[in-house]
């Protein structure tokens, strides 16, 4: 009798714990996945990924992801079933690699499941805007982002969230290695954090902060090309790369000025038969040739 009562109590406790925990899991459950992009739905702001266990669809961390990823591209991501399905982060992944590393991610940098390519790493220190809080969560006023190469810090820049940046370049940053010929582009899109360090703001400890950072690493390999301006001719030319489409070589720089912003797809500039190309960043301002490179990416046929 005592044994039966003990078993009954254990079973009841298990049921109660499950019932109590279910709403939490339903709101904040996060699942790491690996698969290929199966659908890009721009009107609904969603991307679908076909995984080994089925297809998952979620809202992208930022709309820029809809222009970056290609169909059938290999990715690693973290999916949350909050609010009907959202991607916490999505990262490009090399298929079948024993040591995968990503040249691109969009989303929460603390949730990345694979290392950054090129032996790069990030460290982010966030500072809250105590005038923009909701309960225990405050928006990030700015973040100091340190970029490391092989464990050595090569840059530290203060970033402001994109929507709060008074000037366009305050939310993004570009680095180019003169000798390594690789480039890094970082954009701080959005962030919120605990109100713990804010005076006079209630802190219940119930905080689910979120952050969206966009990160690109470009190299002159089989997937990317780095284009450089010739100060004498004011034209773009490829550096040690066979990837640059002929439509880019000889293009007059003065005809395109994008002020550090993402350009997206530009068939008129980067049309190469059989491939998709996209302009990622034109480091060029109206003041002249202040920048280092135009970065392009080769897509699938």
Q: What is the pLDDT of residue 100?
A: 80
Question: Quick one: pLDDT at residue 50?
Answer: 97
Q: Is the dihedral of CA 198, 203, 205, 211 positive or negative?
A: negative
Residue 277's CB: how many other CB atoms inside 10 A?
A: 21
Tokens of 220: 């002159």
Q: What is the C-alpha to C-alpha distance for residues 261 and 64, in angstroms, rounded to an integer?
A: 11
What distance in Å separates the CA atoms of residue 244 and residue 299, rounded to the nearest whole number?
12
pTM of the predicted model as reported, rounded to 2 decimal places: 0.71
In angstroms, the CA 12 to CA 18 distance is: 10
Structure tokens of 20?
């109590």
Q: Residue 272: beta bridge partners?
A: 275
Give 261-276 as a DSSP string.
Answer: ---B--HHHH-BTTB-
**What pLDDT does 124 receive?**
95
Low-confidence residues in the chain, pLDDT < 50: 1-2, 5-27, 168, 222-224, 236-277, 280-293, 300-301
The pLDDT, as a whole number, for residue 274 is 42
As a whole number of angstroms, the distance between CA 259 and CA 94 comes to 31
For position 113, what pLDDT does the model report?
A: 87
Beta bridge partners of 122: 147
- 48 vs 76, 86, 228, CA distance in Å? 12, 10, 35
pLDDT digits over 86-98, tens only?
Answer: 999 999 987 666 7
């Amino acid at each position: 009798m005592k044994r039966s009562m003990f078993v009954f109590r254990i079973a009841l406790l298990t049921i109660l714990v499950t019932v109590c925990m279910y709403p939490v899991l339903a709101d904040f459950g996060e699942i790491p996945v690996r698969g290929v992009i199966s659908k890009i739905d721009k009107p609904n702001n969603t991307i679908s990924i076909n995984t080994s266990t089925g297809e998952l669809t979620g809202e992208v961390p930022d709309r820029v992801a809809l222009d970056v990823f290609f169909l059938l591209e290999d990715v690693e991501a973290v999916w949350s079933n909050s609010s009907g399905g959202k991607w916490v982060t999505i990262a490009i992944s090399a298929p079948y690699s024993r040591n995968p590393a990503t040249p691109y991610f969009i989303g929460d940098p603390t949730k990345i499941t694979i290392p950054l390519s090129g032996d790069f790493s990030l460290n982010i220190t966030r500072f809250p805007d105590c005038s923009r809080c909701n309960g225990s969560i405050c928006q990030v006023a700015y973040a100091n982002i340190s970029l490391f190469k092989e464990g050595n810090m090569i840059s530290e820049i203060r970033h402001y969230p994109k929507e709060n940046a008074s000037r366009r370049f305050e939310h993004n940053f570009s680095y180019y290695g003169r000798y390594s010929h690789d480039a890094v582009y970082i954009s701080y899109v959005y962030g919120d954090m605990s109100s713990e360090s804010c005076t006079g703001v209630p802190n219940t400890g119930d905080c689910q902060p979120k952050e969206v950072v966009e990160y690109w690493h470009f190299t002159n390999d089989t997937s990317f090309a780095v284009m450089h301006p010739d100060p004498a001719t004011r034209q773009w030319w490829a550096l040690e790369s066979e990837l640059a489409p002929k439509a880019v070589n000889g293009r007059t720089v003065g005809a395109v000025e994008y002020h550090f912003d993402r350009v997206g797809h530009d068939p008129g500039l980067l049309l190469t038969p059989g491939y998709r190309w996209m302009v990622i960043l034109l480091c060029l301002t109206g003041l002249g040739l202040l920048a280092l490179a135009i970065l392009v990416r080769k897509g699938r046929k």
